[in-house]
């Protein structure tokens, strides 16, 4: 009897040991499967797909931004003037403030990169350094750009007389996008109406930003129907490619005085702007009035590039007692 009872106890113990071993083997197999599923190699394809989707979304948002709607204001609304000595300093101080309507940033997203060293070591060990570096250097700026608040609608004049607006202008200051392949240039600009209703715009300069060699820009512009000439679309693409929607960029006449002697033309995204005058060297008070108006409309006035002769006058005026 005692021997039979001992054999039964041993059989029960063996069954318990086998069950524990089975559970341990199942847990180990599941853990190894999870590690394989979330290994850097297996995550590479989903990461690439997510990056491609984010890029397509960014391009879509960029295309919407290029055609952002604008609103009109009376043409007689004059910009605030800054006269006398110290106009350059006053304009610089105004430009240093946050531009109105330029859109809110999302700089807090960059702080997410600081969370990487705080993650547990066993989590960081599962991501290759190359993938982590790419996510921080490319993913965070893209995410910041995607979530930032878009700029408010751009205020423009009510109507533009195309005949009076045409002819010779002088770009006394200009602003170009940060990633533009061409530096902003200043100089004579000709607006030439064409028989088909389009406008040929030619900007020539003997010196570009940084004192480089002569540069030029050529654009084909067309007015947007129903906007009284205040909104334009222009393109510097070859004629064969201008049938593509991406070839055209939205522009607007932000300001023109009643006598058509000074004007501001820029895009609704606030990344491109021309300060235009019929006089190649306008009075400094009028120039600073245009700078102030550009700042009030949300443009980065602190990045404006002035014509060389005007830049010298502005610096001399700032140094004058």
Q: What are phi and psi of 115, to 5 degrees?
A: -80, -15
The closest of 299, 279, 283 to 291, measured between CA atoms, is 299
Task: Return the SS3 of 299.
Answer: coil
Give the pLDDT of residue 116. 66
- Which band of pLDDT confidence, cut at 50, 70 and 90, is reported for residue 216? confident
Task: Report the range of poorest mean pLDDT among 77-86, 158-167, 237-246, 311-320.
Answer: 77-86
Chain segment 95-128, per-residue pLDDT in tens: 344 455 555 555 555 666 666 677 777 777 777 7
Give the pLDDT of residue 50. 65
Does residue 260 register a pLDDT over 90? Answer: yes
Does residue 77 register a pLDDT over 70? Answer: no
Mean pLDDT of the 35-49 span? 59
- How much is the mean pLDDT over the chain? 74
Both structure tokens of 120: 């547990």
Does residue 309 register a pLDDT over 70? Answer: yes
Does residue 62 register a pLDDT over 70? Answer: no
Mean pLDDT of the 35-48 span? 59
CA distance 181 to 272: 13
- State the Cα angle at 233 between 294 and 194, rounded to 5°: 115
16: left (phi over 0), alpha (psi -120 to 50) or beta: alpha
Share of the chain above pLDDT 90, in %: 28
Give the pLDDT of residue 122. 74
Share of the chain above pLDDT 70, in %: 62
Chain segment 21-34, per-residue pLDDT in tens: 888 888 888 777 76
Task: Let me know: does 223 contact 194? Beta carbons within 8 Å.
Answer: no
Does residue 274 register a pLDDT over 60? Answer: yes
Give the pLDDT of residue 233. 92
Give the pLDDT of residue 30. 77
Give the pLDDT of residue 276. 95
Which is more confident, 318 or 69? 318
CA distance 70 to 157: 10
What topology does CATH give the domain 72-101+153-319? Answer: Lipocalin (2.40.128)
Q: Where are the domains of the chain?
A: 72-101+153-319, 107-147
- Which band of pLDDT confidence, cut at 50, 70 and 90, is reported for residue 81? very low
Q: How buried is 274 (Cβ within 10 angstroms: 0-12 exposed, 13-18 middle, 19+ buried)?
A: buried
CB atoms within 10 A of CB 317: 16
How does strand 273-277 pair with strand 167-175?
antiparallel
Which is more confident, 205 or 196? 196
Report how far Cα 15 is from the mean position of its chain's Cα atoms.
68
Which is more confident, 37 or 292? 292
- Please identify which residue in the block is written with the tokens 């491109």: 272
CA distances 291 to 44, 91, 131, 214, 282, Å, are 49, 7, 44, 25, 13
Identify the H or E element spanning 185: none
Give the pLDDT of residue 72. 43
């Amino acid at each position: 009897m005692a021997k039979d009872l001992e054999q039964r106890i041993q059989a029960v113990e063996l069954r318990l040991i086998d069950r524990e071993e089975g559970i341990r083997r199942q847990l180990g197999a599941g853990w190894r499967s999870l590690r394989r599923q979330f290994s850097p190699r297996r995550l590479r394809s989903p990461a690439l797909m997510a990056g491609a989707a984010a890029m397509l979304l960014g391009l879509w948002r960029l295309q919407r931004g290029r055609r952002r709607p604008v609103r009109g204001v009376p043409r007689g609304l004059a910009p605030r003037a800054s006269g006398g000595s110290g106009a350059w300093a006053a304009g610089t101080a105004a430009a240093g403030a946050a531009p109105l309507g330029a859109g809110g940033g999302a700089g807090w997203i960059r702080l997410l990169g600081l969370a990487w060293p705080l993650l547990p070591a066993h989590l960081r060990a599962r991501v290759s350094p190359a993938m982590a570096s790419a996510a921080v250097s490319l993913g965070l700026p893209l995410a910041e750009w995607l979530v930032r608040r878009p700029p408010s609608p751009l205020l423009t004049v009510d109507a533009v007389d195309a005949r009076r607006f045409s002819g010779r202008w002088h770009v006394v200051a200009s602003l170009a996008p940060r990633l533009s392949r061409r530096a902003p240039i200043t100089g004579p600009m000709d607006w030439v109406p064409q028989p088909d209703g389009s406008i040929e715009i030619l900007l020539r300069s003997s010196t570009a930003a940084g004192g480089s060699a002569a540069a030029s820009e050529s654009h084909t512009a067309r007015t947007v129907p129903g906007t009284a000439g205040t909104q334009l679309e222009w393109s510097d693409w070859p004629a064969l490619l201008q049938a593509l929607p991406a070839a055209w960029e939205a522009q607007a006449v932000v300001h023109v005085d009643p006598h058509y002697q000074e004007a501001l033309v820029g895009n609704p995204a606030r990344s491109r702007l021309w300060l235009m005058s019929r006089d190649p060297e306008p009075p400094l008070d009028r120039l600073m009035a245009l700078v102030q108006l550009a700042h009030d409309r949300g443009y980065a006035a602190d990045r404006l590039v002035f014509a060389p002769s005007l830049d010298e006058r502005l610096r001399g005026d700032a140094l004058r007692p």
